Structure 1
Amino acid sequence: MTKFKINSLLLPMKGHYFLYNGGTAPVVPFMPVFAKQLGFSSVVVGTLYTVLPIAGMVAKPLFGGLADRLKWHKKLFMFFLALTGILFFLINFTPNANEGKVGPGVDLDCGAVTLFKTCNVTDNCALTRLLVYAGNGTVDCHIDCPEVVGSEWNEELCKQWGLSQYCKSNADHPMVFDAKVPLAHTEQIENCIYFRVQTAIFEEKSVIPYCNAQISTSNCHVTCKEPVVNEVLHVRTEEASAKSWSFIYFAFLMLTSWISMAVVVSIGDAICFELLGSKPANYGKQRVWGSVGWGIFSVLAGFLVDEFSQGRTEKDYSVVFYMCLIILSVDFLFCTRLKVSHTQMSASIVHDIGRLLSQLRINIFLLWCITVGLSTGLLWGFLFWHLEELAAAQGCSSLEWIKTLEGLVMGVQCFGGELPFFFISSWVLKKIGHIHAMSMVLFGFGLRFFLYFWLVDPWWVLPIELLNGVTFGIFYATMASYASKIAPPGTEATVQGLVGAVFEGIGVSLGSLIGGLMFQKIGGANTFLAFSIMSWVLFCLHVVVQFFMQRATPNEWQQQQEEVKEFAMTAMYASPQDAIQMLDEQPDDLSRR
């Protein structure tokens, strides 16, 4: 009987993958909808997510080469690991793009009591939250009426409110003061909401505001310290300028954190392969713990965001940033135990590209990677955006659990789709071959996007996410292993780098940009319908092209099919969400774990 033995040398690496992916899982999937809440449009977000994959693609070989030259693999790895946690945590403090923006003017009425009212409430959910919240104490507000006109206000402010600055002349004066507003007196009359001003404070002088005559003024701006009130008073501008300080801060942190993540992944994987030594195919047994960490903590993060956001007008994402900082801090401590001697990394992904691109089958394969990247970019950037729009259409209560649902989406994608299909991908490729698997991925994306188009109740997205096994699990296994077989001798690393570059740097980037533009122009459902049609058209085109290639070169086709079937029988497929590197396993490698 074989005794199971844990390899202590690889234990810190397993822990790193689990903790690193678990630490980034609470933040990365929610960034597009977090940006939406900050006030950025789908076009702005899509443009940002066009740049991020390119920056990561450039950073990997750049810092990989630097690590090789200076022999600083662990130093750079640890530095960027710490930097990733810090940068993500700082995103939590991004100012809302709509902060300081006032909505339409409200009316201020003075008589036996002083009231301000708004009749511009268009968000029924905001109104419902306010009326439920009403009665919870007194709110501090700031009232600014820049256009107080006539002697009536001056006389009342001078005689009844005792404010000498309004007694000096009959000239028009702005009226600016702080107010105590008891929410228990909030009242809805027809389409208007009335708030009572209990106390007015002018330069630290408190007065009880009442007037002998019934007077009013319009175009006052009111800002309160309670978001549930501001949500009713203010009309939010969903599109914020990309030149705003808020966006510059957010974009800078996103860009630098993306670069940090790319470097951690690149050098971390190289360290892992160096620890594996002559058994590189066991990489999958280490990397699978990253998928487990991602699935667990993404579900937990979604639930916690909803829990900490109860009674709030907007989702409170601060818990996910603290989760990220804490988990990555533990990961940093875990990685101090990594034993690294010297790791060789390739810093070049473009060597011999001219010779490779002269081959038709490689060009077709790269085009397939780009088309799948387009769909993946839309999915990563705007699925949650679409779900939140569907939840809002379902009613106010639906938004209370939307983050829990988004966390469950990530869990189903990981445990229900990704992991099972990675385990059976070898069997699938053995049965149908890589070419048919490529076609299946395109068809799977078409079906997945078509179901998103028909989706009404956002909860029904969960069974749809099982298709992630085809569109992600089968895709990555097919892409990485097929690339390793078609690469001419001596260009294996080049092809793997090229595949990753065209998928992320071209496909995902363009998918984010096009998806953002289409979301704004035609809406989420129609965008997914358009991408569904595109995927099915590409599926048909791929089948036709491969059919004619098979007829044109039958001997080469048959030899290639035998090779990939043989490869599928021995390959160990990892979950290369961040790294694309698949290597054959030798028969005597099966004993080491």
Structure 2
Amino acid sequence: MFSVNKSMLRMKFHYFLYLGGIASIVGFSPTIAKQMGYSPILVGYLYTYLSILSFLVKPIIGLIVDKFRVKRITFLAFVLTCGLTAFVLNFIQKLPTETAAILSCNSKTVLDVGSNINGQLPQCDDSLKQLLMNNSMSITCQLYCQPNKSFWDEMCKSWSMDYCAPQYNTNTSNNLVHLNVSLFKSLTDEIENNYGFEVKSMQFKETQVFFPTCLKPVSSRCKIDCSNDFIMELATITVFEGNIFGLHQFWEYFIVMSLFWISQAITWSLQDPICFDLLGDKLEDFGKQRCWGSISWGLFSIFGGALVDYFSDSDIHKNYFPIYYLCLIIILCDFVVAYKIKITETIGSKNTLSDIFKLLTNVNVVIFFVWIISMGICTSMVWNYLFWYMEDLTQKYHSEKQLWIKTLQGSAIGIQCIGGEMPFLFFSGWIIKRIGHTYCMALGLITFAVRFYLYSIITNPIWILPIEFTNGITFGLCHAVLMEYARIIAPASAVTTVVGFSGALFEGVGMCISITVNDIFLILIY
């Protein structure tokens, strides 16, 4: 028969509520940033900064709570701050975008949508094309085109506009040319992200031309506003191409994300030492408490992904507002639970720093820290780029799955946590006791090698789901090893500091190195 340790129930509830609350926000944050108009490279820089921030905050807060009796108030304050800052993210605006197309005139006039986007538009799938074909409404667009001289002269000659040439000579050439056009619904051309729509008629001021043609080929870049949502989706440049540092949207996002990341970094660094204090000598039972966080992370990731898909009108632009409200409600509930947890304040010591530096003279401890950094590098690749990779696979090979991609991504996290982390965390004490910390560390690195190889050979995002069972070893078991070994080597006066420093090496140094390397590859690719 299983016995329930009632003294740990509140800690179990905290893990369940807190990790469930932030699961969808953290999991979807890279794709949220992508939809807000941030490029992959810029997102990489942002997460590098956040990793450094986490690296600095965790040991500092550990020193503070080990030196002063403020563990309880610090823990409660940042649990609440985490929920509030996550909710505020819902109100931050996207980066400004523009709609771009190329108006090309030769033997026929074609509006090329998606030109000059450098492959950053979503792929046009069959379902969207069918919506275009089935739309009984005629397609009309307003174009605001750059009036280069060759385009203007050819328009005047070929379309017999008597008054346009004199107007061109009156120093109005810097003004955008306003054209009203009507398009055929059928695609005349489709090459990667470029989609051509033949122009049925065009109107400039009072002159209207049907089936416009030109004597020689000319083109002009235009901003467009069309009656068809499909064309507008294609024409919208989803990544901001200007200087973001002058935009208030960027600074709002930057500040709120920094506060959110600081809050969760501090909460992560305090909750495990609090759990160890409650366990006393039964450190091997840590995984049995922590596994409840993995269960909730998986459940709420699936639920959050399904909510996003359900409330989204488009399969390209997703509506994330449900997960912000979900996060706030759950974190408020967690605050009530955390308030009732018995938190033991650390007895300060004057030798805290010297005790910590003595650890660095131990070769085994140094190897342990190197292992933490290595695991952080590998884990960062999964946390920050797996969803992005799934969306790329979907767009390139299986565009029919775009409609429920968030549900698929949430399912991946669900399998990671419930199918992988939960059982390995629960039995981590038994596994560590049987094979030891060293073999568990080696097993984590080997499993990561297999995991990344499997990622590299698949083309269908659904096959990522069974791969995610390996997360039980790479994170579930290894997180228990990291926390338990850090607790064992820590001096009595610096438990929170050493545990926080170990977490900082994982999330700070390891992830920072990973993101920097990934950014270098992204720069080479793009």
TM-score (norm: length of structure 1): 0.70
Q: Which amino acid aligns with 1:90?
A: V
For residues 272 and 488 of structure 1, the distance between their equivalents in structure 2, rounded to whole angstroms, comes to 17
Corresponding residue number in structure 1 for 2:193? none
Letter in 2 for 1:144: Y
Tell me: CA distance 1:136–1:427, structure 2 relative to 1, closer, same or farther (3 Å): farther
**Cα drift, residue 260 of structure 1:** 1.3
Q: What code does the residue aligned with 1:35 have?
A: A
- Check if 1:468 corresponds to 2:468: no
Separation (CA, whole Å) in 1 of partners of 2:210 and 2:402: 46
Larger Rg: 1
**Where do 1:144-163 residues align within 5 Å?**
144-147=144-147, 149=152
Deviations 1:399-423 (A, max 9, x none): 2232222111111111111111122
1:106 pairs with 2:103: yes
Contact 1:64–1:346 under 8 Å retained in 2: no
Report what 2:197 is aligned to.
Answer: 193
Tell me the percent identity. Answer: 31
Per the alignment, residue 417 of structure 1 pairs with 420
The equivalent position to 1:338 in structure 2, one of 330, 334, 340, is: 340
Contact 1:103-1:233 within 8 A present in 2 as well = yes
**Paired residue for 1:222?**
223
CA apart distance, 1:108: 8.6
Q: Report if the CA contact (8 A) 1:129-1:228 is conserved.
A: no
Q: Which residue in 1 is equivalent to 2:233?
A: 231
Cα distance in 1 between the residues matched to 2:499 and 2:361: 17
> Deviations 1:476-510 (Å, cap 9, x if unpaired)?
22233334445577665554344323222212221
Cα distance in 2 for residues equivalent to 1:212 and 1:140: 14
**C-alpha displacement of 1:366:** 1.7
- The answer to whether structure 1 residue 143 and structure 2 residue 143 are counterparts is yes
Q: Is the 8 A contact 1:187 1:195 kept in 2?
A: no
Flag the 1:120–1:362 CA change in 2: closer, same or farther, 3 A: closer
Unaligned runs of 5+ in 1: 524-593
- Is 1:443 the equivalent of 2:450? no
Between the aligned partners of 2:213 and 2:176, the Cα distance in structure 1 is 14
1:534-549 counterparts in 2 under 5 A? none
- Over the aligned positions, Cα root-mean-square deviation in angstroms equals 4.4
Q: Deviations over 1:319-353 (max 9, x none)?
A: 32232233324434x34852668633879985434
The residue number in structure 1 matching 2:16 is 18
Shift of 1:293: 1.4
SS in 2 for 1:92: helix
Within a 5 Å distance, the mapping from 1:503-522 to structure 2 comes to 503-521=506-524
Between 439-448 and 44-53, the greater mean CA deviation after superposition: 44-53
Asked if 1:118 is matched to 2:112, the reply is yes
Q: What amino acid is the match of 2:197? A: I
TM-score, length-scaled by structure 2: 0.78
Superposition deviation, residue 511 in structure 1: 1.6
Does residue 407 of structure 2 align to residue 404 of structure 1?
Answer: yes
- Structure 1 residues 137 and 257: alpha-carbon distance in aligned structure 2, compared to 1, 3 A threshold: farther
CA distance in 2, matches of 1:102, 1:330: 43
Contact 1:441 1:471 in 2 (8 A): yes
Rounded to whole Å, the distance in 2 between the matches of 1:492 and 1:323 is 33
2:122, 2:482 → 1: CA distance? 48
Quote the Cα distance in structure 2 between the aligned partners of 1:475 and 1:199. 67
For the structure 1 residues 423 and 105, does the alpha-carbon distance in structure 2 shift closer, same or farther, using more than 3 Å as the test?
Answer: same
| Contact persistence 2:181–2:202 (CA under 8 A) | yes
Deviations, residues 190-239 of structure 1 (Å, cap 9, x unaligned):
45214668999x9xxxx9x7359958885252333765322333555587
| Mapped contact 1:306–1:401 kept (Cα < 8 A) | yes
Q: Measure, in 2, the Cα distance between the counterparts of 1:167 and 1:137.
A: 37
Distance (Å, rounded) in 1 between the aligned partners of 2:68 and 2:492: 29
The higher-RCO structure (CA 8 Å, 6+ apart) is 2
Match of 1:219, SS state, is: strand
Q: Distance in 2 between matches of 1:472 and 1:51?
A: 23
SS in 2 for 1:125: coil
Confirm or deny: 8 A CA contact 1:73 1:343 kept in the other structure.
Answer: yes
Aligned length: 502
Mapped partners of 1:101, 1:392: distance in 2 = 22
CA distance in structure 2 between the partners assigned to 1:428 and 1:195 by the alignment? 68
**Of 465-474 and 126-135, the range deviating more from structure 2:** 126-135
CA contact (8 A) 2:98 2:223 kept: no
Check 1:319–1:349 CA distance in 2 against 1; reply closer, same or farther (3 A cut).
farther
Please tell me whether the aligned partners of residues 271 and 343 of structure 1 are also in contact (alpha carbons under 8 angstroms).
no
Name the counterpart of 1:89.
87
The 3 A distance-change label for structure 1 pair 189 and 368 is: closer
Q: Which residue of 2 aligns with 1:567?
A: none
Deviation at 1:267, TM superposition (A): 4.6
Aligned partner (choices 365, 382, 386) of residue 383 of structure 1: 386
- Offset at residue 516 of structure 1 (A): 3.0
State whether residues 412 and 462 of structure 1, in contact with CA within 8 Å, keep that contact through their aligned partners in structure 2. yes
